Structure 1
Amino acid sequence: MSNDLLTPSHLIILGLLLSFAIAHSGLASLRSWAETKIGPRAYRILFALVSLPLAVVLIVYFFNHRYDGIQLWQLQGIPIVKPIVWILSAISFLFLYPSTFNLLEIAAIQKPQVHLHETGIIRITRHPQMVGQVIWCIAHTLWLGTSFTLVTSVGLVLHHLFGVWHGDRRLQKRFGESYEKLKSRTSIIPFLAIIQGRQTLQFHEFLRWAYLGVGVFVLLFWQAHPLLIRATGNVYW
């Protein structure tokens, strides 16, 4: 760990985040056009071939440089902090991965389609991935407390806030009035539409195998976390 406020790794992670954001959002904006040229399945594969390697590079670089910069605070010695971080991290995954509910479409086995959902987690927020990312960033920034982690978190949150605007714009263009009606019944801020009476929670909608799958993934990830840290440590970036 360096004691410098702004190490080169701070700028590198911002560059990696920008590269990922351009590739990810750029390909998303081209989806309608690209699907007419190469088809939905080929587009999904292309999207994955571009996005996944960039995401892996980001994750590895973050793990290897998470303690760079200045230690802004140190809370790891406080017993209550660790369970709070893990609970927040588990909650963040429930928001981050609602798209995994249809794994056959994600893997392009079934024809990938754009869906308008208004059930389950969408009743809480229509942009669950943004909310999940914010929660993840809060948890990890709280735990690590370094300037590098803070810079990374700010970059991730800004990317996802842009994704909120960009996603609403694309869906509005694609679905028109149907999406306007969905927007009127949902909210970006978690639980706001429910508090305002525009939406109601249906708890039975959360009784899905996908949520159980995410829960099992979190438990497995918790067990494998030390192994993952050691594995990324062997990559000298």
Structure 2
Amino acid sequence: MLQIIVHGCEGKMGKILTQTAQDCGSVQVAAGIDARCQEGYSLSNPVSFPCYSEFSHCRTEADVVVDFSNPACLAPLLAFCTERKLPLVIATTGFQPEELSAIEKAAETIPIFRSANMSLGINVMARMLRLAAANLEKDFNIEIIEKHHNKKVDSPSGTAFLLADAVNQGCQVKKDLVFGRHGRADECRITDMGIHAVRGGSIPGDHTVLFAGPGETIEITHRALSKDIFAAGALQAAAWLADREPGLYSMEDMLS
């Protein structure tokens, strides 16, 4: 049975992940790490595994660490995993370029799986976008609209950037990203790709890519009905990563 350590176990996704692991039967949560824990137990969520407030307090053996936290925790997370030689699944988003560089550096020592979205459906959608963009880029304007709950702090979403990257991978001429159009007086160029963020209520995540051409439109939409899909994808990634060599892996690697 796969043994995992959940970093961010007190957060919403951390709790969903631990419940999903318990339900699937092939994964066991060996320990949780979260600054909101008191030593040995969770304050808000009765669990059967030990919880720690700091990495240095955790001596639990495991096969993989799964991270659903925030970018501010990256440095100690990477230090913990590289010191222990533990494979790492990073499901956190919103990293700055220097943080992405730190992840790439750590991947020289341990296997790291990072995706801006752990949904299998989103990553299949990215494949579809590469094909669509390759055929439509010259005559179609391309716009991305993403919708999330009112507690999401990063905007646009990491998934919106993932989808934009997929579009540009399919294009011969890369699109220039435009974030909203407030205050812009110029026309929408065919080389622009707009990204628009909507926040409200409890929306788990909606992403639509609009291809608008002369006389026709195409919309490709992914709608998350539950956050459970992100936990399921992260657990699948953990099982896939457990016996890999050091390197930086993505959902595309797993799907291939």
Asked whether the two chains share a fold, i.e. TM above 0.5, the reply is no
Whose strand proportion is higher, 1 or 2?
Answer: 2
Structure number with greater CO (CA < 8 Å, separation at least 6) is 1
Whose helix proportion is higher, 1 or 2?
Answer: 1
